[in-house]
Structure 1
Amino acid sequence: MEMERIGPPLRAGERETLRAFLDFHRATLAMKCRGLTDEELRRRSSPPSTLTLLGLLRHMAEVERTWFRRVINAEDIPLIWSETGDFQAAYDPSGCTGAEALEVWQREVAHSRRIERDAESLDVTGHQARWGEDVSLRLVMHHMAHEYARHNGHADFLREAVDGTVGA
């Protein structure tokens, strides 16, 4: 999967800046996974942790789907990787190939981008059922950038453990 990584603008409005930071982080995760085999995507960096790059891809597909489609767009759709609503199931890398996980993640990112672009403003709200609260698209965009940044730190270590590749 190719996803161009472009640095965020130095002077832009809030929405354009949030969108650019989120896309930068999305492209970073894609970069960390690029060129690896399924076996390499399933490799753990520091047992007993079960975290893998494949698990991170699956998790971020679930996060994209939940925040943009289920919360902001109010779509009544199930989780991707769990029929029982278990968010942790996404971390299990045994359920699919790297190509399948990349395709699902890419599809969810496309939905997220469409929902964000179609939204009238960052003040659009959706209901986060797990919190029992309404949240703004602004909060979702910030939360997603935070989620990617945190997991891209994990992806740095995971990729280095696979083949020694380092750097952002």
Structure 2
Amino acid sequence: MTTERLAPPLIADEREMLRAFLDYHRGTLAMKCDDLTDEQLRLRSSPPSALSLLGLVRHMAEVERTWFRRVIDAEDVPLVWSPEGDFQDAFDDGTATRHEAFDAWHREVEHARRIERSAPSLDVTGHQPRWGADVSLRLVMLHLIHEYARHNGHADLLREGIDRTVGA
């Protein structure tokens, strides 16, 4: 499997630029997982860390679900792997599979895209209970770009440790 990842435009309006950079980072995470077995995707970085590529995919499904569905859309949906709200729970991937993790992640990305596209502007707000504050869709998109970029750095190192594949 080879992930198609489109480069963001060099010139676009704010919303299109944010959308494109978020999709670019989503594609980067998927690309880092291309052509690996479930066992390879579950390989952990180094003890005691539970960090793995499959754990990152599961974690980002939780992040997408939280910020777009729970915060912006105010849906009353539980987290998938983090029933107590601890996002680190998603990293515990001992029995996880590519199919299970990527299905959940793809579903959450599609929900997020639907929510973002249906919002009349980036100024739409939702409430982030952890912060005790209202946040804009603009902040959510920037936060997700930051979250993916940070974790894609982890994914680079994990992938290199698995099969020496490097580069974005």
Q: Which residue of 2 aligns with 1:156?
A: 156
Q: Which residue of 1 aligns with 2:140?
A: 140
TM-score for both structures, normalised by structure 1: 0.96
Query: What is the deviation of 1:99?
Result: 1.2
Q: Which residue of 2 aligns with 1:46?
A: 46
Are 2:15 and 1:15 equivalent residues in the alignment? yes
Q: Which residue of 1 aligns with 2:127?
A: 127
- Cα deviation, 1:106-139, whole Å, max 9, x if unaligned, reads 1100000000000000000000010000000000
**Comparing 148-157 with 1-10, which one deviates more in the overlay?**
1-10
Q: CA 1:118–1:3 in 2, change beyond 3 Å: closer, same or farther?
A: farther
Q: Structure 1 stretches of 5 or more lacking a match?
A: none
Q: Which residue of 1 aligns with 2:90?
A: 90
Residue identity in the other structure for 2:135: V
Q: Structure 2 stretches of 5 or more lacking a match?
A: none
Give the 5 Å matches for 1:48-127. 48-127=48-127
Query: What is the deviation of 1:3?
Result: 4.5
Secondary structure in 1 matching 2:94: helix
Query: What is the deviation of 1:38?
Result: 0.9
Are 2:5 and 1:5 equivalent residues in the alignment? yes
Residue identity in the other structure for 1:166: V
Aligned residues: CA RMSD: 1.2
Separation in 2, partners of 1:130, 1:80: 18
- Cα deviation, 1:133-155, whole Å, max 9, x if unaligned, reads 00000000000000000000000
Residue identity in the other structure for 2:24: F
| Regions of 4+ moved over 4 Å | none
Separation in 2, partners of 1:24, 1:144: 11
**Comparing 67-76 with 38-47, which one deviates more in the overlay?**
38-47
